[in-house]
Amino acid sequence: MALLEIENVVKQFAGHRALDGVSLSVPENTVYGLLGPNGAGKTTLIRIINCITAPDSGEVRLNGKRMTPADVQHIGYLPEERGLYKKMKVGEQALYLARLKGMTKPDALKALKYWFEKFEIEAWWNKKVEELSKGMAQKVQFITTILHEPKLLIFDEPFSGFDPVNVDLMKREILGLRDKGATIIFSSHNMESVEELCENISLINKSRIVLQGNVAEIRASYATKTFVVRSENVISENGFELLSQTTKNGIVESLVKKTTTDSNNILLNKIIGQTEIHSFEELLPSMNDIFIETVKPLNHKFRGE
């Protein structure tokens, strides 16, 4: 069942159409990727979901009902541009933001204690935000975003300012929130994180959806019929094209491409007849490759066109 449905949304600003008939459906309890180059319309769509602005036409539904400003209580939004007050103390501000989301003071303090201890940031409570690094402030804003346990979470470039250790921490927290029942919209230019976290995506380019679907299925649909073979000995072309071949630590790594409609098993049998196989793996394009090809149609390098 879809938690969030966006149907044929159009939004125009002073002669510029920011969204042109955008439709998508975000299933419950999933991480959904909202992707696109700068200026594509992602931020406008996120603002419409948050009722910050309204569409000129089209509809946004939450749990099957047309969204109203009251539904914002059920959303947690971490924007790309951070919004903490630099002169306020961390604890005071976190409590204030929790109360704005409808939490009682005792409930907010209890939840904040849990998260501050979990992230080992208790010592930050009486610090001013301006004393924190970008990554430290990002942790605080992440906590204030999820504290009221909203049904829908929207993370826009949530790993900005984090080192690799904290990026890994945040990824695990995001997946943990999903596993506890949250539905998450994840917007990022980091395609590796998209592959790791997202089950489905929508790619917006020039105000329209240009690619949409399951991440694994999209990658498979862009398959180049290319395989990486690791073997005991060198191999020769045998009804397939040998693109490259290198030897490292006694293992031969070959890049081969099917030139027929033979099944993968037939290709593998042609290679097994020549040498002992250590591994055989289809080389699928990354989401980064697909992103580039989709938004820049003239770039066909990775597909060999």
119-126 mean pLDDT: 93
Distance from C-alpha of 112 to C-alpha of 251, rounded to nearest angstrom: 53
pLDDT tens-digit readout, 244-283: 999 989 999 999 999 888 888 999 999 998 999 999 999 9
pLDDT tens-digit readout, 177-209: 999 999 999 999 889 999 999 999 999 999 999
| Alpha helical stretches, state H, 70-189 | 90-100, 105-118, 134-146, 164-179
Give, in order, the Cα–Cα distances in Å from 89 to each of 83, 97, 102, 178.
14, 12, 20, 30
Distance from C-alpha of 231 to C-alpha of 243, rounded to nearest angstrom: 15
Give, in order, the Cα–Cα distances in Å from 81 to each of 43, 69, 174, 180, 204.
11, 22, 19, 27, 20
Answer yes or no: are the C-beta atoms of 121 and 94 closer than 8 Å.
no
Question: Can you give the pLDDT at residue 303?
Answer: 44
Question: Can you give the pLDDT at residue 297?
Answer: 62
Count CA atoms within 13 Å of residue 42 on its CB side. Answer: 25
Question: Can you give the pLDDT at residue 301?
Answer: 45
Question: Can you give the pLDDT at residue 118?
Answer: 93
Of all residues in the chain, what percent carry a pLDDT higher than 90?
Answer: 78
Question: Can you give the pLDDT at residue 1?
Answer: 84
